[in-house]
Structure 1
Amino acid sequence: MKIYLSSDMEGTAGVVDWEQCRPTGPDYPYYRDLLQREVNAAIEGALDAGATQFVVNDSHGRMANLRPDELAGGARYLSGRHKPLYMMQGLDASFDAVFFVSYHGSMSACAATLSHTYNPLAVAEVRLNGELAGESAINALVALGHRVPVALITGDRTTAEELSPFCPGARAAVVKESVNRFAADSLHPQQACELIRDQAREAVRALRERDESVRRLPAIALPATLTVRFRNPDLAEMATWITGVRRGGAGETDRDDPTMVTLTDEDPIRLYRTFVTVVLLTRGIAE
């Protein structure tokens, strides 16, 4: 059994500040180690249940946060920036399941530690088929395209709840309760890893037992529509330079909103690529 693991960092138990997630921060080495332990806990739990192959796509920041020689399970390590499929680079139909580890809530979510949706300087909100979507739901488009179920997500409770409408069968390891965007009540790191290990084990065990609730593909109707609200109209205007991106929202009330754009496609992977292109293009003017 082959597991694809996409790791972020803001969802790690104990992480509540941007400086803890940035290589320039004085405490980054410590929190980087906590992330490594949570990633390994997910791998170890999957190993216990019979998984045999792992690919870890480092998806946070400069995407080089983990120590390859310390990854459990002989996992392959996909790292580095400017990946064509970004947080989902390396996934294909040969995998049996997707794990999202140390994920965080969307920019417009209530009580989500270090909330953002790809680029906090540009993106204010994203909706997928009308439902509020964080990075996990947007990334699930690629899983759907390759027909691979999302079996596990770890992070705070808000993050788990945001994914649920799109991947109701995914196991959730809630390692912290967000108080607000910069505060959280976290499990002890050891307990967080134990919880992640247990949920990963149960997810893979359910897959091996052909539990249909876990084996379900992401519940995203096609053609799918992403509606993106930017922080100002200039960013929305720039996004429309990309073919297939229309100015305004998807509903009657926001159709003429100058801060919004709409993307629709029957191919979920192509839709994701277009979204990532929008994010990368608008990043230049936002920063």
Structure 2
Amino acid sequence: MKVYVSTDMEGTAGIVDWAQCVGDGPEAAAGRELLLAEVNAAIDGALAGGATEIVVNDSHSVMRNLAPERLHGRAAYISGSHKPLYMMEGLDPSFDAIFFVSYHGSMGGDPAVLSHTYNPRAVAEVRLNGQVVGESGVNALVAAHHGVPIVLVTGDQTACEETVAVVPRVETAVVKKSITRFAAESLHPEVARDLIRAAATRAVELADRPAPDIAVPSTLEVTWRTADMAEMATWIRGVERVAPRVTRAGDTDRLRLFRTFITSVLLTRGIALER
């Protein structure tokens, strides 16, 4: 049983501010410790459920947030920020199951701590086949392409709800309840890890679930923060502007559609960072 783990950070119990998950300050260092413990809880649960091989893809910010030698189960570790498939780098049909650990909700959904979809300064909302999705929904395109089931998601209630909307049979571990974008009620870290560990074990034991059923041709509609960003996104082949701040792209190849989205996010990053 080979398990793929895509881990973000904003969905970790106790994290409610960017200072806890960006940069190299003391709060960020403490945040990385909280994240590592939740990732290891997911690994422990996967091993208890019968996993024999685990690959962890660090998908948050600069994508080198975990101490490799401290990953449990001698998990392989994908890190570094220049990855063609970004949050889904390394996934291929050889995997039997996918975990999304420490995921967060989108700006377009219900209140979620540190909500965004890939780039909070550029993307206001993403719709997959007309449905508001967060990063889990966008990333599900890659899972569907390779035919690998998403069996676990951990994070706040909005992240879990958005994932269930795309993958109805996914196991969930809600480790905190968002109150606003910068406030939440979190489980005690040890309780959160116990919850994740148990959910991961159940997820692996039932990993014969189908891959995400995403209709093709698939369409991604992106609402950008500014009209300039929407115009810039149309420089990418296959992206059309359908409203001042809205673009749409559709494709029968779900992996190619995912790549188109990632390219548009990266392309707009420069203008999004201007003051």
TM-score (norm 2): 0.98
Question: Deviation digits for residues 130-168 of structure 1, max 9, x if unmatched?
Answer: 000100010010000000000000001111001112111
1:30 Cα offset (Å): 1.1
Q: Does 1:223 align with 2:209?
A: no
Alignment of 1:21-36 (within 5 A): 21-36=21-36
**Structure 2 equivalent of residue 119 of structure 1:** 119
- In the alignment, the residues of structure 2 paired with residue 96 and residue 113 of structure 1 have an alpha-carbon distance, to the nearest angstrom, of 30
1:28 Cα offset (Å): 1.1
1:112 Cα offset (Å): 0.2
The letter for the 2-side match of 1:17 is D
Mapped contact 1:110–1:180 kept (Cα < 8 A): no
Alignment of 1:153-192 (within 5 A): 153-192=153-192
Question: Deviation digits for residues 210-242 of structure 1, max 9, x if unmatched?
Answer: 4xxxx1211211110000000111000000000
- In the alignment, the residues of structure 1 paired with residue 81 and residue 31 of structure 2 have an alpha-carbon distance, to the nearest angstrom, of 20
Q: Does 1:12 align with 2:12?
A: yes
- In the alignment, the residues of structure 2 paired with residue 111 and residue 230 of structure 1 have an alpha-carbon distance, to the nearest angstrom, of 19
The counterpart of 1:235, out of the listed 229, 232, 235, is: 229
1:169 Cα offset (Å): 1.0
The counterpart of 1:281, out of the listed 264, 267, 272, is: 267
**Structure 2 equivalent of residue 252 of structure 1:** none
3-state SS of the aligned residue for 2:222?
strand
**Structure 2 equivalent of residue 262 of structure 1:** 248
- In the alignment, the residues of structure 2 paired with residue 25 and residue 271 of structure 1 have an alpha-carbon distance, to the nearest angstrom, of 36
3-state SS of the aligned residue for 2:219?
strand
Mapped contact 1:165–1:219 kept (Cα < 8 A): no
- CA RMSD of the aligned region, Å? 0.7
3-state SS of the aligned residue for 1:27?
helix
Alignment of 1:68-147 (within 5 A): 68-147=68-147
Instruction: List structure 1 segments (4+ residues) > 3 angstroms apart after TM superposition.
Output: none
**Structure 2 equivalent of residue 254 of structure 1:** none
Structure 1: state its 5+ residue gaps. Answer: 249-256
1:107 Cα offset (Å): 1.7
1:87 Cα offset (Å): 0.4
- In the alignment, the residues of structure 1 paired with residue 74 and residue 251 of structure 2 have an alpha-carbon distance, to the nearest angstrom, of 37
1:23 Cα offset (Å): 2.4
Question: What percent identity do the matched residue pairs reach?
Answer: 60
**Structure 2 equivalent of residue 251 of structure 1:** none
Question: Deviation digits for residues 147-192 of structure 1, max 9, x if unmatched?
Answer: 0000000001111001112111110000000001000000000000
- In the alignment, the residues of structure 2 paired with residue 93 and residue 110 of structure 1 have an alpha-carbon distance, to the nearest angstrom, of 33
- In the alignment, the residues of structure 2 paired with residue 102 and residue 154 of structure 1 have an alpha-carbon distance, to the nearest angstrom, of 5
Count residues in correspondence. 273
- In the alignment, the residues of structure 2 paired with residue 26 and residue 65 of structure 1 have an alpha-carbon distance, to the nearest angstrom, of 13
1:110 Cα offset (Å): 2.1
Structure 2: state its 5+ residue gaps. Answer: none
Mapped contact 1:111–1:180 kept (Cα < 8 A): yes
Question: Deviation digits for residues 86-108 of structure 1, max 9, x if unmatched?
Answer: 00000000000110000000022
- In the alignment, the residues of structure 2 paired with residue 177 and residue 119 of structure 1 have an alpha-carbon distance, to the nearest angstrom, of 22
- In the alignment, the residues of structure 1 paired with residue 182 and residue 134 of structure 2 have an alpha-carbon distance, to the nearest angstrom, of 18
